[in-house]
Amino acid sequence: MAFEGSSTSLHWAEFGGQCSHEEIDRQVAALRPLSVDSLIAIGGGKVIDAAKCVAHRLGVALIVCPTLASTDAPCSAAAVVYTAEGVFKDVEFFPGNPDLVVVDTAIIAKAPLRFLLAGMADALATGYEARTCIQNTKARSMVGGRISIAASTLANICSETIFTYADDAVAAAKAGIPDHAFEQVVEANTLLSGTGFESGGLAAAHSVASALTLVPSIEHGFLHGEMVAVGTMIHLQLENDLVELERVEELLARLGLPRALSDLGVEVRDGSEALDTIVDAACSMPFMQNEPFTVTASLLRNAITAVEVRRQSQVPQRRDRQI
């Protein structure tokens, strides 16, 4: 390996599987006595987010080497922290972004297709949430500032890149060949989405996605981007943007991604405990305050129901997710 023959001492630390305060504290306690001067995170989004927290607490440089393009974690200066059970808890912010991000698309191309698709869904939401935030003068970015034209433009390019290259990138991934389309999508999933969400802001799509982690069957059975896919549908329905809703719906269907709560195993009906939990939690998310109107439980439930009606009207009725 690259460190062989060098004077560098390398210490391996295995990630426990959840970016929780318990895991972060465990890693800090194990690494601090070693007086490490840098941290290298190799893996997916939760590994990377946990490494950001650990590196910050240790005061060392962070090098990120993602093996998946499933989230926008690699380039952002924020980490999503969960409970030990995997329920969304809070977002931790850092004074700077990772010191170095190394993306080898030959490695990314060998990962299961499902991860790339989830990353596309996460990236797709970026432009829509930034659009909401820039149009609402009271909305704020992830670090509390107003949304700049530059941030909004980056976020929009992120979403449009997915629309433009998604199908060709999927074909490349299936062939295991990181061609131009594949690399465009990987850049959107990691760099553009990461800078886009932290500078452009979040809104209803990620509020719903975060709330979905409260349902154990969803948290354990679906990826973050798959939850965001459903969140984006609900976001656009909530804002009554039926043109973009149809555009997103067509792309998600083509990619085999979830488009409604029923695709995640949740029944949209009166008396559904899971639905009640999702609605209440989503309305209380801080990101939801970036919407230009007050999102009440009734409004959100109506949007969820409308998305479900669209989904149920489509034939054949099946889960189209590609693995």
Residues placed in the known binding site for NAD(+):
45-49, 67-70, 76, 82
Q: What are phi and psi of 160, to 5 degrees?
A: -65, -30
d(CA 232, CA 230): 5
DSSP β-ladder status, 78-82 and 88-93: antiparallel
Feature table: binding site = 45-49, 67-70, 72, 76, 82, 122, 206, 224
Binding-site residues for glycerol sit at 72, 122, 206, 224
DSSP per-residue letters across 78-132:
EEEEE-TTS-EEEEEE-SS--SEE---HHHHTTS-HHHHHHHHHHHHHHHHHHHH
Helix (H, G, I), strand (E, B) or coil at 291: coil
Alpha-carbon gap, residue 207 to 282, rounded angstroms: 5
Please give the angle made by the CA atoms of 129, 113 and 177, to the nearest 5 degrees: 110
CA distance linking residue 299 with residue 273, whole number of Å: 18
AA identity, residue 152? S
Task: Please measure the distance between the N-terminal and C-terminal CA atoms of the chain and give it in whole angstroms.
Answer: 32
Cα–Cα distance measured from residue 181 to residue 185, given in angstroms and rounded to the nearest whole number? 6
Task: Cite the DSSP H helix spans in the chain.
Answer: 21-31, 45-58, 105-108, 113-135, 149-175, 180-187, 193-200, 204-212, 216-221, 224-238, 242-255, 273-284, 297-312
